[in-house]
Structure 1
Amino acid sequence: MSTNSLVTPQWLIQNLNKVRVLDASYMPAGAYATEHIPGAAFYNFDSAYFKSEYIKFDLYPPEVFQKYLRLLGVNNNDQVVIYSRGAASGMMFASRAYWTLKTYGFTNVSLLNGGLDAWKAAGGSTNAETVKPTLGNVDVRAFNSEILANFEEIPFNHFKENNIDYLDARIPAQFTGQDPLSATYPGTKATGSHVTGAINFPMAEVIGPDGFLSQQEVDEKIAKLGLTPGNQVYVACNTGIQASVIFTALERSGIKAKLYNGSMTELAYRAPEVVNATGN
């Protein structure tokens, strides 16, 4: 079995009957019902997360998410392979589900690089059959605080003295302020477009037409960021989705990072005063 964060369509074709496959497609609505990899259960974002006061895709307590994973048929000894379709060559929503499972302590999980399109291009079949998994037995006990960050722990405006590198995965136009923050967050009192000290690293830097770029290519992109060895790395975006792509890329390159789940959706309304920088 593969222990890599990414598996190829060819690998999955050969091992389809040995793994638990989850389709984490979020958009367009109804895509899973139209076609999916045979045997894949539907990882429904509307069931896996909930909207809280400041966080669009908030995390349920571990005991609640455990019930959901069991409904998807996940067992303790399973290898789970996640895919999606659409944005970022099918990697955006799948990366979010990948990070989520890891956050709940389930580590035997991989992503299908290139998503459903790559699967089909490699000759993989699809169908529209409803999958009703047998109830799984997976145990979920606690959050992994090594990869999950909350608002209270991040010293905004004081990154340098606290040895922090903060990566913002939003598109450059949002980061610089070319696209006003108020266009995404009406009524925000923020005066800037990003937090002071943030480094823009959009997911387009690590994604190509066939999924994640090679590790060598991603390593070269990361090297240009000027990260300080030993610093705590945080990744954020608007809702924690795009940041999941960057989290996955960093992980493959051997860089540990915490994903700030609230991201700009939380900051724009909870602490707009820290969103005080513009430009590059």
Structure 2
Amino acid sequence: MDSPQVLISADELRRQLEEGRRIVLLDVRWSLGGPPGHEAYLEGHLPGAVFVDLETELAVPVPPGSAEEARGGRHPLPSAEEFQESARRWGIDDGDTIVAYDDSFGQSAARAWWMLRDAGLRDVRLLDGGLAAWRRAGGPLDRGEVEPRLGNVRLRPGSLATIDADDAADFRGVLLDARAAERYRGEVEPVDPRAGHIPGAISAPTSGNLADDGTFLGAPELRRRFAALGAEPGHRVAVYCGSGVTAAHDVAALAIAGIDAALYPGSFSQWSRDPSRPVATGDEARPGAATADGIASDS
């Protein structure tokens, strides 16, 4: 991955919008097992923001327990054509600046950030701290639906590195698990058929990327965090989560730290549905591995 800027602060975003700069705002509110984010969006969103449905626009809907879910996991990536159609529906033109946000400190917005960056768009940011930071900055909110004109963006997915299940099984590098630590250890598993983690993976909950106010830690702190897990610039690093959603949050944090990381889109939802794949429990024996509890809405 090259190193464009990952974040924009609420104050900076507000300043640019007040100056009249064209910025496409994407509201990506979603939580695992929670109510649809669209109702919350209608009650209040950043002025001009378009709602993005993670389940149908940032993933291909698959019936639970289906063969499609077993092959691709709970949130398989859409085709290039489907994703381009969605991005144009959001009003994105070639060359636009895009800012994605949510109400969970980037947990779901990072999926949009990663997919758009993977599709070749460079100026894509996460609103640092999400909706809470916008409110703290005194930013206004609008109600109701925003329906932009059709955009003309051309997407070319494949710009960012990914791995598949076979790569994860024999990953010669640092494989990070972005889920909450109790799911990694196999103590709980709310959605997938087996509890635990991919053997050899190290726990790196997305909560560890954040300061107390929900904004990302600074680059030096993130570098120290990931170095303690064995992930440093120049090393091979890959990330997975439950279904490829919140793993993008770790990929974004690693990018802030100057570390390129691949994403495993199928993640544990795909891995755990394949009976030929082994599953480990407990903590891996790596000094400094993270064991703090993660955010409950991880994928």
Equivalence for 2:49: 40
Alignment of 1:231 with 2:235, yes or no, is yes
Q: Deviation at 1:147?
A: 2.5
Among 124, 128, 140, the alignment partner of 1:113 is: 128
Asked if structure 2 preserves the Cα contact closer than 8 Å seen for 1:62 and 1:143, the reply is no
Among 58, 77, 81, the alignment partner of 2:76 is: 58
Q: Deviation at 1:26?
A: 1.6
Q: 1:272 to 1:178 in 2, by over 3 A?
A: farther
Q: Distance in 2 between matches of 1:84 and 1:56?
A: 20
Equivalence for 1:171: 180
Asked if structure 1 preserves the Cα contact closer than 8 Å seen for 2:232 and 2:259, the reply is no
Percent pairwise identity: 31
* Counterparts of residues 135-154 of structure 1 (less than 5 Å): 135-144=150-159, 146-152=160-166, 154=167
Q: Distance in 2 between matches of 1:110 and 1:134?
A: 21
Q: Which has the higher helix share?
A: 1
Could you list the runs of 5+ residues in structure 1 that have no partner in the other structure? none
Q: 1:272 to 1:35 in 2, by over 3 A?
A: farther
Asked if structure 2 preserves the Cα contact closer than 8 Å seen for 1:168 and 1:200, the reply is yes
- Note the alpha carbon deviations across 1:256-279, whole angstroms, 9 max, x for none: 111101111001112453213533
Equivalence for 1:70: 88
Q: Deviation at 1:53?
A: 2.1
Q: Deviation at 1:242?
A: 2.0
- Note the alpha carbon deviations across 1:90-134, whole angstroms, 9 max, x for none: 210111111111122222100110111110110100010321101
Q: Deviation at 1:77?
A: 1.1
- Note the alpha carbon deviations across 1:179-222, whole angstroms, 9 max, x for none: 2x5x5434x4xxx7222211111111111223211222211111
Asked if structure 2 preserves the Cα contact closer than 8 Å seen for 1:177 and 1:279, the reply is no
Equivalence for 1:13: 14
Alignment of 1:31 with 2:40, yes or no, is yes
Asked if structure 1 preserves the Cα contact closer than 8 Å seen for 2:80 and 2:155, the reply is yes
Alignment of 1:249 with 2:253, yes or no, is yes
Q: 1:11 to 1:266 in 2, by over 3 A?
A: same
Equivalence for 2:200: 197
Q: Distance in 1 between matches of 2:180 and 2:274?
A: 22
Q: Distance in 1 between matches of 2:259 and 2:138?
A: 34
State the Cα RMSD in Å: 1.9
TM-score normalised to structure 1 length:
0.87
For residue 53 of structure 1, give the secondary structure of its aligned residue in structure 2: helix
Asked if structure 2 preserves the Cα contact closer than 8 Å seen for 1:70 and 1:138, the reply is yes
Could you list the runs of 5+ residues in structure 2 that have no partner in the other structure? 63-67, 285-299
Q: Which has the higher strand share?
A: 1
* Counterparts of residues 150-161 of structure 1 (less than 5 Å): 150-152=164-166, 154-156=167-169, 158-159=170-171
Q: 1:122 to 1:229 in 2, by over 3 A?
A: closer
Asked if structure 1 preserves the Cα contact closer than 8 Å seen for 2:223 and 2:232, the reply is no
Q: Distance in 1 between matches of 2:232 and 2:25?
A: 37
TM-score normalised to structure 2 length:
0.82
Report the count of equivalent residues. 263
Alignment of 1:268 with 2:272, yes or no, is yes
Q: 1:178 to 1:216 in 2, by over 3 A?
A: same
For residue 231 of structure 2, give the secondary structure of its aligned residue in structure 1: coil
The one-letter amino acid paired with 2:118 is: T
